[in-house]
Amino acid sequence: MTSRPAPAGKRPPGGPVLQQDVTRALETAFFEELASVGYGKLSIEAVARRAGAGKAAVYRRWPSKQAMTVELASQAALKAVRAPDMGSLHADIAQFIRETMTALSHPLVSRIAPDLLAETARNEELADALLSGIRTPRRENAALVLHRAIERGELPADTDIELGLDFLVSPAYWRLAVIRTPVDDGYVERLTVKIIAAMKA
């Protein structure tokens, strides 16, 4: 989100001049607090307290808990979007899965992501913001991997991209985030082989 109205730092003319170090402290505190109590119980007061700031410092930057969440979560999620290009479909998929698992294993992500996800079922606006800010770009990026494989002739031209994308991430997410079952060393390798077989079928 490169053109958002820049809540921190100097705004064009006449705007308030917020201090960046305070902004950074609030962002850090927000994620820590979100991870430890969840979206529902997250209080602005606790975020400010954890950051060593006053409540007004928060409200000067974001009008509400939801606005703060949408901005910071989208911002953070976008950093992680990148399509691997290792030269072969097998290597690309294995790498993609490994990166997904690494991200989902991060203590902050593993606590925050399911929490925000759950909140989207209850909060239309948050859902729109997060889905269009995270899901769509990530999905488009992953599609690149498949299109490159088609160009290289590793996949047939009529490959079911939609289903392929679902296979690409869902098992990893399922094991790590949903059923919370540990993953063998060879799991990624076996998974990659099966995914390619499924896409070729």
Partner DNA sequence: AGATAATCGAGACGGTACGTCCCGTCTTGCT
Partner DNA sequence: AGCAAGACGGGACGTACCGTCTCGATTATCT
Options 18-26, 111-119, 170-178, 192-200: segment touching DNA (CB under 7 A) = 18-26
Read off the amino acid at residue 108. Answer: L
By beta-carbon proximity to its own copies, the closer residue of 13 and 107 is 107
> Taking a C-beta distance cutoff of 8 angstroms, is the pair 145, 83 a contact?
yes
The separation between CA 65 and the C-alpha centre of its own chain, rounded to angstroms, equals: 19
Contact letters for its own copies, residues 38-77 (x by CB under 8 A): xxxx------------------------------------
By beta-carbon proximity to DNA, the closer residue of 20 and 136 is 20
Tokens representing 168?
């690409």
Contact letters for DNA, residues 48-77 (x by CB under 7 A): -x-xxxxxxx-xx---xx------------
SS3 17: strand
CA distance linking residue 136 with residue 124, whole number of Å: 16
CA distance linking residue 148 with residue 132, whole number of Å: 24
Instruction: Report what 19 binds from DNA, its own copies, none; CB cut-off 5-8 Å by kind.
Output: DNA
User: How many binding residues for its own copies (CB under 8 A)?
Assistant: 45
- Among the listed residues 50, 148, 160, 161, the single contact to its own copies using CB under 8 A: 160
The helix/strand count (H/E) of the chain reads as 10, 0
Left if phi > 0, otherwise alpha if psi is -120 to 50, otherwise beta: which for 23?
alpha
- Among the listed residues 49, 66, 76, 114, the single contact to its own copies using CB under 8 A: 114
- Give the binding site for DNA (CB under 7 A): 10, 13, 15-19, 22-23, 25, 43-46, 49, 51-57, 59-60, 64-65
